[in-house]
Amino acid sequence: MIGIVDYGMGNLFSVFNAFEYLGVSVKICSKPEDLSQVDRIVLPGVGAISQCILRLNENGFSEALHEQVIKLAKPTLGICLGMQVMAKQSFEGGKHTCLGWFDADVVRLNPGNSILKVPNIGWNTIQFDNQIPLFKGLSENSDFYLVHSYQVQVRHEAERVATYQHGETVTAAIMKDNIFATQFHPEKSQDLGLTVLENFINWKP
């Protein structure tokens, strides 16, 4: 069963509907203890990272996620803000301590010209490591949908498994052990996004 973390922020129901369309059992986890009842975890999110961290901490999800994701090593998918909060720290609206699952910082996009806008909203061509099982069945240079102003900068390049260009090389996906996370929204990326979600369902890290 897939458990989607409901901490009060995020693209909850579009993610739920995408997994349901793929024929898998899905549970909305509105309480930390719900996470113990699922086999795989999805951490979605849109909005400000300061609020994301605050709600995860206040609702008891930070500790529960550490138990289920880090200690028990359940396969876990982060989406958009759900990916960014997995970093060590974020510099969005000040400096914030995040979950710390990746040795990484969250920094503002810097395209370096006035033509490319921030936030970046729309479809972008993603370059990825086609040896990664989460990208199985995708052709090179596939297009995915993004909406963001900040990106994750990892210190270990091997953990960055997909990128795209926006005046600079931007992190599109990261991966370590049982954790895979995307800056793009697979649930909004039509058939290609559904392929990524289906690969997550079948992933055996």
pLDDT in tens, the chain (205 residues): 999 999 887 778 899 999 999 999 999 999 999 999 999 999 998 888 999 999 999 989 999 999 999 999 999 999 999 999 999 999 999 999 999 999 999 999 999 888 899 999 999 999 998 889 999 999 888 999 999 999 999 999 999 999 999 999 999 999 999 999 999 999 999 999 999 999 999 999 9
The one-letter code for the residue type at 118 is: V
Tell me the three state secondary structure of residue 110: coil
Q: What phi and psi values does residue 64 have, to the nearest 5 degrees?
A: -65, -40
- The confidence score (pLDDT) of residue 114 equals 81
The distance of Cα 75 from the centroid of its chain, to the nearest Å, equals 13
**Predicted pLDDT at 113:** 85
Please report the pLDDT score of residue 85 as a whole number: 97
Distances in Å between the Cα of 6 and the Cα atoms of 3, 30, 76, 180 are 9, 5, 14, 18
Q: What is the pLDDT of residue 91?
A: 96
185 is an active site residue:
yes
Secondary structure (DSSP) of 152-193? EEESSGGGEEEEEESSSEEEEEEEETTEEEESS-GGGSHHHH
| 80, 96, 159, 166: the active-site residue | 80
pLDDT of residue 30: 95
pLDDT of residue 14: 93
Residue 112, domain extent: 2-202
- What pLDDT is attached to residue 141? 80
Please give the tally of structural domains in the chain: 1
Which pLDDT belongs to residue 96? 95
Backbone phi, psi, residue 152, to 5°:
-90, 125
User: Of 96, 148, 166, 185, which is the active-site residue?
Assistant: 185
> 119: cis peptide before it, omega within 30°?
yes
**CATH code at position 158:** 3.40.50.880
Residue with token string 């503002």: 108
Q: Is 187 a catalytic residue?
A: yes
Query: Quick check: is 20 catalytic?
Result: no
Catalytically annotated residue among 96, 148, 166, 187: 187
